[in-house]
Amino acid sequence: MNQNIKHIPVMTKEVIKSLKIQENGIYIDSTFGMGGHSCEILKKLGKNGKLYAIDKDFNSIFIANQIQDQRFFILHDTFSNILNYARSKKIIGNVDGILFDLGVSSLQIEDCKRGFSYKKNGPLDMRMNQNFGMTASDWISKSDVKEIIFVLKNFGEERFAKKIAYAIKDYNQTKKITKTLELVNIIKKATPKKNMYKHPAKRTFQAIRIYINQELEEIKYALESSLKILKPGGRITVISFHSLEDRITKQFMIKHSMKAQIPHGMPITEKKRDKLKICKLKIINRLLPTIEEIQKNPRSRSSVLRTAEHILK
């Protein structure tokens, strides 16, 4: 692991304010990463506060284990298992705030051995947990053109998905793609040069990473689980970095902030009607990074922070 990787957590002040940190509250950082947000939360907690963190990356667990604080607990797992974690710690219904900082971390991008970067050469891996699942290289090798097109379109919103998919399979007929820059060069040759400010491989790398790590399904499941974990008044804050993540978050918050619509004339008791009309969330804010933050941390440019408060009781 590269100990010199520079890490600037995104919208730290906004995160702390949105979570409305209670001195002796219970919080979950479901995506520990390099611990930037966790450390800021710990600074705000009193001696009886608790912070539970989750990450499936071994390097993140290594960093978390350096934190010597009796208020802090770390679990090596995927955040989609957040409900089981909360159940094991007997904190269901008692959590004051949950943070989801989605996407790939600086730790993963900067380590060329992980295969997340389209700017550095390394093994075409892309697994967040390198002990589990298929590498990007193996998936590309085993997939047919239709499946690759589907993934690039649906998880990368790549307009040249068809051209890239056919170029990948043509290359694979003579040699398996095992390196990141091999894939980058294939993409560059298959796509027209349109925007000098956007890397042509960005969407393809995003799509493959999301697909092999099942990121969108994990987000959906974890968000729904959060409703069972938060206490009334507890908050959920989500930082998204691309439209797919943000769309899921937005739809989740809107869905649970609306009263149930009952068709006119449907026979239903007053008690059941009142129960159906209870909202589970109150949307608090939608924030974007400031110009100053973007200048200091260019990776924050595409981030969106959304917060909602649990109001079911």
Give the pLDDT confidence score for residue 278 in this predicted structure: 62
User: What is the pTM assigned to this prediction?
Assistant: 0.88
Dig out the tokens for 178 from the structure.
């095992």
| Domain residue limits, the chain | 12-107+217-310, 129-212
> Does the pLDDT at position 198 exceed 90?
no
Record: fold of 129-212: DNA polymerase; domain 1 (1.10.150)
The mean pLDDT value for 185-209 works out to 88
Using DSSP bridges, classify how beta strands 230-240 and 281-287 pair: parallel, antiparallel or unpaired. Answer: unpaired
Same-fold call for 12-107+217-310 versus 129-212: no
H helices of the chain, where?
12-19, 36-44, 58-64, 82-88, 106-110, 136-142, 145-156, 161-172, 180-190, 202-212, 215-229, 243-255, 270-276, 291-296
Torsion of the alpha carbons at 215, 219, 222 and 226, rounded to the nearest 10: 160
DSSP secondary structure letter of residue 123: B
As its CATH architecture, domain 12-107+217-310 has: 3-Layer(aba) Sandwich (3.40)
pLDDT digits (tens, 9 = 90+) for 37-92: 999 999 999 999 999 999 999 999 999 999 999 999 999 999 999 999 999 999 99
Give the pLDDT confidence score for residue 217 in this predicted structure: 95
> Does the pLDDT at position 34 exceed 60?
yes
Q: Determine the length of the chain.
A: 313
> Does the pLDDT at position 142 exceed 70?
yes
DSSP secondary structure letter of residue 81: G
CA angle 251, 256, 260 (to 5 degrees): 115
Q: What is the overall mean pLDDT for the chain?
A: 91
What percentage of the chain carries pLDDT values higher than 70?
A: 89
Give the pLDDT confidence score for residue 80 in this predicted structure: 95
Give the pLDDT confidence score for residue 130 in this predicted structure: 87
CA angle 234, 237, 242 (to 5 degrees): 160
Give the pLDDT confidence score for residue 258 in this predicted structure: 80
